[in-house]
Each structure stands twice: as C-alpha cells, then as structure tokens.
Structure 1
Amino acid sequence: MMKKLYSALMTAFNDDGSINEAGIREMIRYNIDVNKIDGLYVGGSTGENFNMSHDQKEQVFKIAIDEANGAIDLIAQVGSLDLNESKYLAKFVTDLGYPKISAVTPFYYNYTFEQIKNYYNEIVKDVDNKLLIYSIPALTGVSLSMEQFGELFENPKIIGIKYTNADFYLLERVRNAFPDKLILSGFDEMLLPALALGVDGAIGSTYNLNAKRAKAEMIAFDDGDIDKARQLQHDSNDLITALIKNDIYPSLKLVFEEMGVHAGVTKAPMSKPTPEMRAGAKAIYENYLKEN
C-alpha cells in the first residue's frame, strides 16, 4: 500500500496576530489541488499552535475542516499543557468531524510517565475518536521508551505515533514490536531512513512546498530505486538547509508567497519578515522549487 504524505498545516496570521482565514484556505486548497496531499496535520508545531489562544485554535480547526470538505484525511493536534483544554478540543474537533486526533506529550514540568499516561487516557476517555501520540523530544524534552509506547497502546483508542525523533534505533524497535500501529515520520530531512524502517507515511512542514519531490521519493523507494530516492532526499535536504538558514517558520510562508499562495505572516514572538529574509526566500524558490 502506498505510504501517505501529510502536510503540517501552517496558520496564516495578520500583522496584528489575528487569524488570516483567507490565507489558511489558500494553503489548504494548494495542498489539495496542487500537492495532491493525502492529508493535513492541523494545529501542530508548524501551525504555531503553542503561540495561539484557545479561540484561535478553535477557529483554525473550523476553517480547515470546512475548506477540506472531506477531500483528504485530517488529523487535529489537541495537546496542551492545560489538560482541560486538550479534553475540550478533543471533543470539539470530534464533533466537527475530524477522523483522528493527536496530542503532543505534556512538556516543561518533567512529568512522570504515569502522569503522561493519565494525560493521554483522559484526552480520549470521553470521545469516540482515534489518537496519535505526538512524540517530538527535541522540542518537549520528553522521550518515551518502547515499553512506554506499549503501555499507551494498551488503550485501543491510541492507534499510533507521529514520530518526530532522530532515534532510529527506537523507531526500529517500535515498528517491529507494534506492526499494526500507525507510525508517521515527522522529520522531513530523514524521510528516506524512516521509509527503510517501515513507517506508514510522513507528516512535515516542508511538504507544503515540496510534496511533489517527497512523493517521488516514496515511489522510488517502493520501486527499489534507492539511488533515485537518495538523490531526491539530498535535493530535499538542500532545500531544508536553506530554509533553516533563512529562519524556517517565516521562510516557509515567504516561499509560499513566491509560489503565489498568500500564507500570511508568523505570530510574535516569531520573526516578522525582513528584506533579507524575503530575498532569501526568493532565492530558495528559484533554486529549489521553481520548475523549468
């Protein structure tokens, strides 16, 4: 079965930090109509979720499901340091019709595993939905072991992982221990090794811009053309390196602008675009994404 590719949906903001609804709709349309994406991960790190108010989160979830209108799969990231908010949002998006939810591991306070387990079980307790654990140790400081994933999977509503972790030894162990669980790779720059370890697909920010190349890489891998897949990963990593050097979150939006998609700006305390950033984004588009 062909592996699934999901874009991590960005949130378009206006200069004052309010939601730019038209921009969000444009990005979703581009993902559906041009990228032919399999799904969107809504409300994650790329969506600047942790910079948003509760009302803004609700607004984005409503816009995304309305614009997608059943055309693709949607995953709503509802995790929050406020467990009551997570539970509320889990019910909110389930009522809207999201077929899957996800939640980042609770972070900052060095929670025990028992506290983390309680958090996940509470989020899904009162909703008829399926949950993906969002594991991103580089940003949360929370690393789960294979045994801990196994304990979480004892809850039948917890169906898999958004695995944004550079520990590929752990990925191999988890993949083999839980062959029926859904594992979606979260590091765009490591798509090829993740495919080699048997992930079911990938979720990433750069797929908003680079879905065509990522899909070609997946096809080359499935066809056994590893040299082609490696070259495509190399080309993607050149793009990713350039984005990181140019300040990745605002740059993703600036490159989208170069592609004719109005993506708005990032929300403070993230950077506002500078003339240098705009020039860098134009060069990224010209060098890595513009088709001859």
Structure 2
Amino acid sequence: MKKANFLTPVVTIFDEKGNLDIKGNQNVWEHLIKGGVDGLVIMGSTGEFFSMTTEQKKELINAVIEYVNKRVKVYIGTSCMRVEDTIELSNFAIEAGADAVMVIGPYYFALSNESIEDYFDRVANEVKGDIYLYNFPDRTGYDLSPEVTLNLVRKHKNIVGFKDTVTEMGHTRKLITTITKEFPEFVVLSGFDENFVHNIMCGGRGCIGGLSNLCPELFAEWTKAVNEGNLEEIERIQKIVDQLMDLYPIGTPFIPIMKKAMILRGIDIKDYCTIPFLQATEEQTTKIKEVMEKVGLL
C-alpha cells in the first residue's frame, strides 16, 4: 500500500476591510504545520479563491511560500474563469516555489466532455509545473469523468493528481482503477474528510479535508494509523471524524463555521470572510460548541 497523505485546504484570513491578514494567515499555517498535516492547499474552495482579487492571490502565494519555507508541501489553487488567467496565475505560483497547482474548470455553465478536455489541454500545455485536477460537480455543474481524465493524463506528464470532491465513493473508486492501472503513481485524493480511509482502501492516496483546519493533530494521527495498519486506532478516529462532520451543515457556506470553530479552539485569527459570507451567529456558535464538546475539542 502506498503512503497515505492528509492535506489541509486552508482557510484564508481577512481583516474587517476584506484585506489579507498576513499575521492571521501565518498563525493558521503554523498551527497546521505543528499539527502534522502532510501539506497545505492554499486557495482551494475553503480558501475563498473565487472572491479574491488577483493581487490578493499573488500576495498570499508569495507570503505562504516564504513562510512555510519547504517545511511541508504547498499546493496552490489557481483556478480562474478565463483560461489565460488560470495559466498566468499557475505559472506565477510555480515560479514562486509552489510544489504544484490545483485547477478546477470554469464554473456556471455545464460543459461537454469535449469542452472540459480542451480547457485542461490548454492549461497543461502552458503551465510549467505539476498540476492536480480538481473535480467538484456540485460547484461546477459538470463532472470531470475518469475517461476524460485518462485522456488528459496520457497527453500531459505534468498532470500528476486529482482531487475528487464527491460524496459517492464509487466515482472515486472508478477514477482510481481507471487511471492507476496505466499510471500507478497517479495521486487520487478525496475531498471529504470521512472518506479518507475508504479512499486508501480503494488504492487512492488520501484526502484534502477541511476539518483538518480545526484539529490537524487528529488527522496526522489518523494518517499515521493508516500507514501503520493500526485498525483499532483507525476505527477510533473514524468515529470522531464522523461526529465532526456535523460541523459542515451548521452554516451555508461552511467556511465561517470553520473559522469560528478555530477561534473557539484558541487559534489567533478573526472570522471575517469575503462578501457575501456572514460570520457565524450566536445560534450557530452554540451548535459549533456542542459538536466540539462532544469530541473533546473544548
């Protein structure tokens, strides 16, 4: 079995005016690195990339690369609505020192398989570094299928991995079996925390899960248990994670809920988000506390 990995799709910290709070972001990065996660994914969905300016994105890329200083892997979400912008930001991240970029296709319109493949062909042809494809059908309106993915991997050596944010593990399993039969080193990661072990058992490489923002040490312990084959510990932590999943539906979107939970845990950040995301209400905060108390995080 190949080594399992758990990476964090990192929240982005802003001040009350919507500017980047660099010190707050550094506090999060240090919390995650000390917590033992295998890598940071900056400006994924949890990182609010979709409502940040290009200038903010570049500022954050430079800040995280300098601060982390190769202590863990750093992957940068570089998705933009225009393919030219995605390519430009991806190459900026690679040149700044990112280990790879993660790219989701354009969202709003559903796309044909031909359109999806053409988009990623254009990106892969121009980006001068490793690329992880990002599939999130609930947000894009279309699926990046195993068949299209295989076509892309056959053509582009720099497409090295895939984040599959779907609840249906059958989709991820098909992706793993379709791609790794021909490309055994291809990395398939799940996008929901609770699917981590299932992903590994299907032949994948782990997870990029948002709950690790809150308690990275728990997910580092889980990863260690998986890699050591410690079934008792795997089961114990799975039960905790299953309870922590109750944080997700407390608010729509989930991001302000996570920031509030992190503050309750003592991480020195503010819970401002980009417009139109609202801070957690008192009622939501009470629910957050109940979940955290149940698993011993408060």
Question: Do the aligned residues in 1 keep the contact of 2:12 with 2:47 (CA within 8 Å)?
Answer: yes
Q: Which residue of 2 aligns with 1:257?
A: 263
Letter of the structure 2 residue corresponding to residue 198 of structure 1: G
SS in 1 for 2:295: helix
Q: Is the 8 A contact 2:37 2:219 kept in 1?
A: no
The Cα of 1:269 is off from its aligned counterpart by 0.8
Contact 2:261/2:288, CA 8 A, preserved across alignment: yes
- The amino acid that maps onto 2:234 is A
The answer as to whether partners of 1:153 and 1:160 remain within 8 angstroms in 2 is: no
Offset at 1:11?
Answer: 0.4
Q: Alpha carbons of 1:165 and 1:5: their partners in 2 closer, same or farther (altered >3 Å)?
A: same
Q: Which moved more, 1:96-105 or 1:229-238?
A: 229-238
Are the counterparts in 1 of residues 6 and 223 from structure 2 also a CA contact under 8 Å?
no
Contact 2:13/2:269, CA 8 A, preserved across alignment: yes
1:144-155 paired onto structure 2 within 5 Å: 144-154=144-154, 155=156
CA distances 1:255-281 after superposition (whole Å, capped 9, x unpaired): 111222123222221112323333333
Q: Displacement of 1:201 after TM fit? A: 1.9
* 8 Å CA contact 1:188, 1:204 repeated in 2: yes
Q: Per-residue CA shift, 1:150-199, capped at 9, x if unaligned?
A: 11112111112011122322322221232321111111122222222121
2:37 and 2:220 in contact (8 A); partners too: no
Within the alignment, does 1:288 sit opposite 2:289 as a pair?
no
How do residues 87-106 of structure 1 correspond to structure 2 at under 5 angstroms?
87-106=87-106
Question: Which residue in 2 is equivalent to 1:15?
Answer: 16
d(CA) in 2 for partners of 1:289, 1:69: 32
Aligned-residue identity in percent: 22
Cα distance, 1:171–1:243 mapped onto 2, change above 3 Å: closer
Q: Which residue number in structure 2 is paired with residue 273 of structure 1? A: 280
Q: Which structure 1 segments of 5+ residues have no match?
A: none
Whole-Å separation in 1 of the counterparts to 2:45 and 2:37: 19
Letter in 1 for 2:189: L
Residue aligned with 1:206, SS? helix
Instruction: Give 1:207 shift.
Output: 0.8
How many residues align? The count is: 290
Residue identity matched to 1:207: S
Following the alignment from structure 1 to structure 2, what is the Cα–Cα distance between the partners of residues 120 and 186?
20
- 1:16-73: CA deviations, max 9, x gaps? 222111111100011112x111100111100011121221211221221121111110
Note if contact 1:10-1:47 (Cα within 8 Å) is conserved in structure 2: yes
Q: TM-score, normalization: structure 2?
A: 0.90
8 A Cα contact 1:9 1:40, kept in partner = yes
In the TM superposition, what whole-angstrom CA distance separates every residue of 1:78-123 from its partner, at most 9, and x where no partner exists? 1111212101101110110112111012221222222222222222
Equivalence map 1:20-169=2 (5 Å)? 20-33=21-34, 35-154=35-154, 155-169=156-170
Q: Which moved more, 1:276-285 or 1:104-113?
A: 276-285
Segments of 5+ residues of structure 2 without an aligned counterpart are none
Paired AA for residue 286 in structure 1: E
Q: Distance in 2 between matches of 1:278 and 1:138?
A: 26
Partners of 1:128 and 1:251 in 2: CA distance: 36
- TM-score normalised by length of structure 1: 0.91
| C-alpha RMSD of matched pairs (Å) | 2.0
Cα deviation for residue 246 of structure 1 reads 4.8
Q: 1 CA distance for matches of 2:70 and 2:228?
A: 30
CA distance in 1, matches of 2:56, 2:103: 17
Cα 1:234–1:63 change in 2 (3 A) is same
Letter of the structure 1 residue corresponding to residue 5 of structure 2: K
CA drift at 1:243: 4.3
State the distance in 1 between where 2:275 and 2:295 align.
28
Say yes or no: does 1:190 pair with 2:195: yes
